[in-house]
């Protein structure tokens, strides 16, 4: 008799555990559906999500009776957006001198406080539909890796983080004005590379700490130092052997040319790229992350900084030059990846600030679907993750958002009307009821 009772109890609890362990299916009905791989808008699609992955795309017939359905038929459904250039562990005001503020961050802000503040900024990306970010340094000694791990394990809430660790740079990094006796402070923020052999070891250090990619400073402006082609080649060869991509901060054209010749996968900023460098990038399929801001953002920034209109006569020319560079890159066939590089506090959340990149590209002349592809499929491909994120297809992660409006006819306003955000199969925002 006792044996039968124990057997029954075992079967009962086994059944309960089995029911709780089963991942449920959720079906999302999309009125409009953005296919980022083909760069087209489709109509009336159903997305089947199980756990944290998409397992099916089809028509209404995909939905079984009594299924859990999220009705998004009045909206456009997109893959979660990706910001391809962030610094969530760094923040400054428009009035701050960048170098002085960097030193203050390293010496007056504990790593714990810096990481917690970064976690708060990271959370704001989900609010605006950005479900993944490529975080590119200025984050101390692997604090970005720690934040990524905290988000992945559920300790913190935020987007999917792809962490680069400390930026690899030539002597001095980008923190200008540091005296010789205090260069050790630079080592807390940058991995200073001293030779091709040291460059190889720098990559090994990053691999050992679990970074997702490598970022280098091909030049260190306003510091005059820059990496040698031999050092960049050593980094690229070693990183690629470990399956990591390499992207290069480049302001000057010479440094960008050297980086592309050395085999980097991407160029960040590239403000002064010559046509010859853009042609080489297109030939080698090296992506470009343009990190300009809209005129609206710039006006807000300089108003907070305290500059007068008379002092900003140069701004029109700057904006025209950036637009020209972007259009030349586009014409040459360079792959564009969306990235904001916004780390200045202008009175809005970091996520809202980062989303300005979409307005910027639109005002510069890119087409709406072209911008969406830059912020989804191309951004994912730059990380080698185009089957995982930035796309709505079976096997991809369930990072899904919905917007209200017509993305082709009213791009900026529509992308600002986020009504639904799902990351990893979990709903973080839903205002569609």
Reported as a single tens digit per residue, the pLDDT across 219-274 is 999 999 999 999 999 999 999 999 999 999 999 999 999 999 999 999 999 999 99
Indicate if the pLDDT at residue 5 is higher than 70: no
Label residue 18 by pLDDT band (50, 70, 90).
very low
Extract the tokens encoding 179. 């005296």
Indicate if the pLDDT at residue 428 is higher than 60: yes
Q: Which range among 12-26, 153-167, 337-351 shows the weakest confidence by mean pLDDT? A: 12-26
Closest C-alpha among 49, 48, 19 to residue 424: 49
Closest C-alpha among 388, 406, 373, 432 to residue 29: 432
Extract the tokens encoding 98. 């960048």
Strand partners of residue 422: 400, 427
**What pLDDT score was predicted for residue 223?**
93
This model's pTM is above 0.75 = yes
**What pLDDT score was predicted for residue 19?**
43
Extract the tokens encoding 196. 């091709």
**What pLDDT score was predicted for residue 21?**
44
Indicate if the pLDDT at residue 16 is higher than 60: no
Indicate if the pLDDT at residue 22 is higher than 80: no
Strand partners of residue 83: 133
pLDDT in tens, 186-231: 999 999 999 999 999 999 999 999 999 999 999 999 999 999 999 9
Label residue 310 by pLDDT band (50, 70, 90).
confident
Three-class DSSP labels, 32-83 = EEEECCCCEEEEEEEEEEECCEEEEEECHHHCCCCCEEEEEEEEEEEECEEE
Sheet of strand 167-169, all strands in order from the earlier edge strand to the far edge: 190-192, 167-169, 214-217, 246-250, 266-269, 287-289
% residues pLDDT > 70 (the chain): 94
Indicate if the pLDDT at residue 370 is higher than 90: yes
C-alpha pair distances (Å), 79 with each of 175, 190, 352, 376:
37, 33, 18, 7
Q: Which CATH class is domain 81-354?
A: alpha beta
Contact 228, 179 (CB under 8 A): no
Q: Which residues have C-beta within 8 Å of that of residue 230, sequence separation ≥ 6?
A: 196
**What pLDDT score was predicted for residue 20?**
43
Higher-pLDDT residue of 60, 208: 208
How many other CB atoms are found less than 10 A from the CB of residue 27?
A: 19
Instruction: Label residue 241 exposed, middle or buried (CB < 10 Å: 0-12, 13-18, 19+).
Output: exposed
Q: Homologous superfamily of 23-79+394-430 in CATH? A: Urease, subunit C, domain 1 (2.30.40.10)
% residues pLDDT > 90 (the chain): 92
Closest C-alpha among 179, 3, 378 to residue 11: 3
Label residue 17 by pLDDT band (50, 70, 90).
very low
> What stretch(es) of the chain map to CATH 3.20.20.140?
81-354
**What pLDDT score was predicted for residue 321?**
93
Inter-helix orientation angle 196-209/229-241, to 10°: 30
Mean pLDDT, residues 91-112: 96
> What stretch(es) of the chain map to CATH 2.30.40.10?
23-79+394-430
**What pLDDT score was predicted for residue 211?**
98
CA angle 305, 311, 312 (to 5 degrees): 80
Indicate if the pLDDT at residue 335 is higher than 80: yes
Cα–Cα distance for residue pair 230/124, rounded to 1 Å: 40
pLDDT in tens, 382-426: 999 999 999 999 999 999 999 999 999 999 999 999 999 999 999
Closest C-alpha among 293, 204, 275, 216 to residue 250: 216
Mean pLDDT, residues 123-148: 97
Higher-pLDDT residue of 345, 432: 345
**What pLDDT score was predicted for residue 60?**
87
**What pLDDT score was predicted for residue 9?**
46
Three-class DSSP labels, the chain = CHHHHHHHHHHHHHHHHHHHHCCCEEEEEEEEEEECCCCEEEEEEEEEEECCEEEEEECHHHCCCCCEEEEEEEEEEEECEEEEEECCCCCECCCCCHHHHHHHHHHHCCHHHHHHHHHHHHHHHHHCCEEEEEECCCCCCCHHHHHHHHHHHCCCCCCEEEECCCEEECCCCCCCCCCHHHHHHHHHHEEECCCHHHHHHHHHHHHHHCCCCEEEECECCCCCCECCHHHHHHHHHHHHHCCCCEEEEECCHHHHHHHHHCCCCEEEECCCCCHHHHHHHHHHCCEEECCCCCHHHHHHHHHHHCCCHHHHCCHHHHHHHHHHHHHHHHHHCCCECCCCCCCECCCCCHHHHHCHHHHHHHHHCCCHHHHHHHCCHHHHHCCCCCCCCCCCCCCCECCEEEECCCCCCCHHHHHCCEEEEEECCEEEEECCC
Strand partners of residue 249: 217, 268
**What pLDDT score was predicted for residue 424?**
97
Mean pLDDT of the chain: 94
């Amino acid at each position: 008799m006792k044996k039968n009772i124990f057997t029954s109890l075992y079967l009962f609890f086994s059944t309960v555990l089995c029911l709780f362990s089963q991942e449920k299916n959720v079906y999302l009905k999309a009125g409009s559906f953005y296919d980022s791989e083909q760069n087209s808008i489709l109509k009336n699609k159903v997305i089947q999500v199980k756990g944290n992955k998409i397992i099916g795309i089809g028509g209404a017939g995909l939905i079984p009776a009594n299924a859990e359905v999220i009705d998004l038929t009045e909206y456009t459904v997109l893959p979660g957006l990706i910001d391809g250039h962030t610094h969530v562990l760094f923040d400054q005001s428009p009035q701050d001198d960048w170098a002085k503020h960097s030193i203050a961050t390293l010496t007056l802000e504990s790593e714990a406080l810096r990481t917690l503040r970064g976690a708060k900024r990271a959370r704001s990306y989900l609010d605006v539909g950005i479900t993944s970010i490529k975080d590119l340094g200025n984050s101390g000694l692997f604090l970005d890796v720690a934040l990524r791990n905290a988000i992945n394990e559920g300790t913190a809430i935020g987007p999917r983080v792809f962490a680069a660790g400390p930026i690899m740079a030539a002597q001095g990094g980008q923190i200008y004005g540091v005296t010789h006796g205090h260069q050790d402070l630079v080592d807390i923020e940058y991995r200073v590379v001293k030779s091709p052999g040291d460059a190889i070891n720098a990559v090994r250090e990053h691999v050992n700490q679990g970074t997702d990619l490598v970022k280098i400073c091909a030049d260190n402006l306003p510091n005059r130092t820059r990496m040698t082609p031999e050092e960049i080649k050593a980094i690229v060869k070693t990183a690629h052997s470990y399956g990591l991509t390499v992207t290069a901060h480049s302001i000057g054209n010479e440094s960008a040319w050297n980086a592309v010749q050395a085999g980097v996968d991407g160029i960040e900023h590239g403000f002064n790229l010559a046509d010859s460098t853009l042609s080489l990038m297109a030939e080698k399929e090296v992506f470009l992350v343009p990190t300009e801001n809209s005129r609206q953002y710039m006006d807000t920034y300089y108003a907070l900084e305290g500059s007068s209109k008379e002092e900003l006569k140069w701004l029109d020319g700057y904006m025209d030059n950036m637009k020209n560079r972007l259009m030349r890159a586009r014409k040459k066939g360079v792959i564009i990846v969306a990235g904001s590089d916004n780390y200045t506090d202008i009175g809005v959340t970091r996520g809202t600030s980062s989303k300005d990149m979409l307005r910027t590209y639109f005002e510069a002349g890119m087409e709406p679907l072209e911008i969406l592809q830059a912020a989804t499929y191309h951004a994912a491909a730059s990380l080698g993750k185009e089957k995982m994120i930035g796309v709505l297809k079976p096997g991809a992660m369930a990072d899904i958002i919905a917007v209200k409006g017509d993305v082709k006819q009213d791009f900026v306003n529509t992308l600002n009307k986020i009504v639904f955000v799902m990351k990893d199969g979990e709903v973080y925002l839903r205002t569609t009821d």
